[in-house]
Structure 1
Amino acid sequence: MLETILVALDGSEIAARVIQTLDDLVLSPETRVILCHVFSTAESEIDLPADRPQPQSLRFSTFQIEQQLQSFQEQLSVKSQIEIVAGNPAEEIIRLANIYKADLIIIGSRGLTGMTRIVLGSVSSQVVEEAVCSVWVVKPS
């Protein structure tokens, strides 16, 4: 039985497909779902003092992502919560999965191939490699 599922969403078109995949699962009423989004931060953004205002672009993006996650949360028939964090996406997804003792991570794949995949890297590949639980990668259609 799946007790805790971490669903990593990035705000792209594949997010709806990831939620549909989750919705297709037959889950126990006791299953807990954590919908998460990781803002990738540049080195300079990590060092911003907490007592100073965040850049307008970061605040606006956070608001949009939170609205999207709340919309997805309303569609779920099981207990859920939202986690929005900043950092290296793969590392933060794995960290959240460990904190919540997730039985499963569901993550989307951007479908990168060739040189683009080498240069940009693949968050889903890194999560599959390093996670201590099962990982379900949802591919683009």
Structure 2
Amino acid sequence: MKILVPIDGSKSSKKSVVLAREIGEKFEAELMILTVIPETTVFEQYPTNFPYTLEMDKANVDRAEYVLSDVERELIKYPYEIQTYYTSGNPAHQIVKFAEDHNADLIIMGNRGLGAFSRTFLGSVSNKVINQSKVSVLVVKDGAKEE
């Protein structure tokens, strides 16, 4: 069994790692930990912003590596295989694509707890993944009070 765990360093994504560990241990599952680097297209539109784009890209990669290393430390005693990955682009699209490309059996991800108003107009990453994925999705709420 393969479980994809998309993370962003938020409280709910940390909770999703804990739950993925529990489920993974019961099913002897491989955990695939993924973080998605946001696109920096706003800066890329203007040639004078090129140095800033490079700095943003480096900062985003550094952040992704930090988030992944934090989870690796959390899962140090996990008895089965763990793979960590980062990619860039639209988070929901990249998560769905990654799950399909890597034959994930389950996606366990956090929900940042956006209020109903924000969720209706913006759509959350977890909501988009639920609606676009061919793989079952388990969403872990962080327990934060909705606005």
Contact 1:73–1:81 (CA<8 Å) still a contact in 2?
Answer: no
More helix by share: 2
- Larger deviation: 38-47 or 106-115? 38-47
Matches within 5 A, 1:35-50: 35-44=33-42
CA distance in structure 1 between the partners assigned to 2:119 and 2:134 by the alignment: 24
Percentage of pairs with the same residue: 26
Q: CA RMSD in A?
A: 2.4
- Correspondence for 2:21: 23
Correspondence for 2:8: 10
Deviation of the 1:23 alpha carbon: 2.2
Of 65-74 and 127-136, more deviation after overlay is shown by 65-74
**TM-score normalized with structure 2 length:** 0.79
Secondary structure of 1:83 counterpart: strand
Q: 1:91-114 CA distances to partner (integer Å, 9 max, x unpaired)?
A: 000011011111100010011113
Tell me, in whole angstroms, the C-alpha distance in 2 between the residues paired with 1:45 and 1:67.
Answer: 28
Question: Residue 17 of structure 1 aligns to which amino acid in structure 2?
Answer: K
C-alpha contact (below 8 Å) 2:108/2:139 kept by paired residues: yes
- Kindly provide the amino acid, as one letter, of the partner of residue 118 in structure 1: T
Q: Which runs of 5+ in 1 are unaligned?
A: none
SS in 2 for 1:74: coil
- Counterpart of 2:127 (choices 113, 125, 128) is 125
Aligned to 1:100: 102
Q: Deviations over 1:76-123 (max 9, x none)?
A: 221010011111000000011011111100010011113322344210
Deviations 1:21-57 (A, max 9, x none): 11222122xx2110000112132467899xx954353
Task: Give the corresponding residue for 2:73.
Answer: 71
Partner of 2:30: 32
Q: State the secondary structure of the residue aligned to 2:74.
A: helix
When structure 1 is superposed on structure 2, of 58-67 and 120-129 the one drifting more is: 58-67
